[in-house]
Amino acid sequence: MAGIGNRNMTIGFIFDMDGLLIDSERIYQQSRSLAAIEFGFEIEPEYYYASLAGKHLGDCNEIICQKAGFDIEMVSFQARCMALVSELTGSVGFDCKRGAVDLLKFAVSVGPCAVASGSNRDHVERSLAQTGLIDYFNHIVARDDVSKGKPSPELFLEASKRLGISASNCIVFEDSNDGVKAANLAVMDVVMVPDIQQPNTESRSTALAVVEELGQAIPIVLTKIRPLSVE
């Protein structure tokens, strides 16, 4: 795939998945709230949005136990959450977020693309295949591939490594504040496209831009990479 920059410069694009490319966070919120009731406590929507959105379920164990106020058998809780996700989506599955295909078509015309998701690999591959997005990506980096999830930069740095592109030449697309922080720690440019979690002060001050939908990121990226074409 040809890049817009000079012959020695290639831009890599790294995408979160849940809440960014696919409309899944509200389903996750519902599944965790329903599972919590079955286990004897509550996870209110606003608590999920503030404390759990954007995090892998395995990284949420301590947070969920603190919310419950008692020890939970987390393997069973996680399994019930994922079963509820399947029940809530049924045979239809997830929808793509608005502008996802437009941005991905643009991105692959410029440089290679990777997904860096806090979800496990099976879920990522299944979701991308079901939504028809999987062929846009050269690499998939999932929670299974790293030791720490976001806001650690490890996912993004691993994606950069697999793309063969330095972190400084990668642009990240994220919907969560933890994701923006992870991109900042990886020293990568980041565009935030909020879903259920609104940008905090840090995200607003450090992101290249905060846009309402993915297609609006295209002119932002063009502004960023056009100077490369004259180097």
pLDDT digits (tens, 9 = 90+) for 77-101: 989 998 998 888 876 678 999 999 9
All residues at 6 or more sequence positions from 147 whose CB lies less than 8 Å from its CB, including other chains: 154
Beta pairing, strands 139-141 & 209-210: unpaired
Query: Which of 46-60, 107-121, 149-163, 168-182 is the least confident region?
Result: 46-60
Q: Sign of torsion, CA 98 192 187 54? A: negative
pLDDT of 231 strictly over 70: no
Strand partners, 14: 114, 172
pLDDT digit string, tens, across residues 122-137: 889 989 999 999 999 9
What pLDDT is recorded for position 2?
Answer: 32
pLDDT of residue 10: 85
CA dist., res. 223 & res. 178, Å (int):
25
What is the distance between the alpha carbons of residues 185 and 181, in angstroms, rounded to a whole number?
A: 6
If one compares 229 and 62, the residue with the highest pLDDT of the two is 62
Share of the chain above pLDDT 70, in %: 91
Contacts of 218 (CB under 8 A, 6+ apart): 102, 103, 106
List the domains of the chain with CATH numbers. Answer: 12-23+95-230 (3.40.50.1000), 25-89 (1.10.150.240)
96 DSSP assignment? B
Q: Give the angle subtended at the CA of 148 by the CAs of 145 and 101, to the nearest 5°.
A: 60
Contact 13, 112 (CB under 8 A): yes
The rounded distance, in Å, linking the Cα atoms of 82 and 77 is: 9
Q: What is the pLDDT of residue 183?
A: 98
pLDDT, residue 51, reads 86
H or E element at residue 13: strand 12-15
Q: Which of 166, 183, 165 is nearest to 174 (CA)?
A: 183
Q: Which residue has the higher pLDDT, 51 or 96?
A: 96
Q: Please write the tens of the pLDDT for every residue from 10-36.
A: 899 999 999 999 999 888 899 999 999
Check if the beta carbon of residue 48 is closer than 8 Å to that of residue 194. no
Residue 228 binned pLDDT confidence (cut-offs 50, 70, 90): low
CB 12 within 8 A of CB 120: no
Q: Please state, in angstroms and rounded to a whole number, the distance separating the CA atoms of residues 116 and 16.
A: 5
**Residue 230 has what pLDDT?**
46
| Per-residue pLDDT reduced to its tens digit, 184-227 | 999 999 999 999 889 999 999 999 999 999 999 999 999 887 65
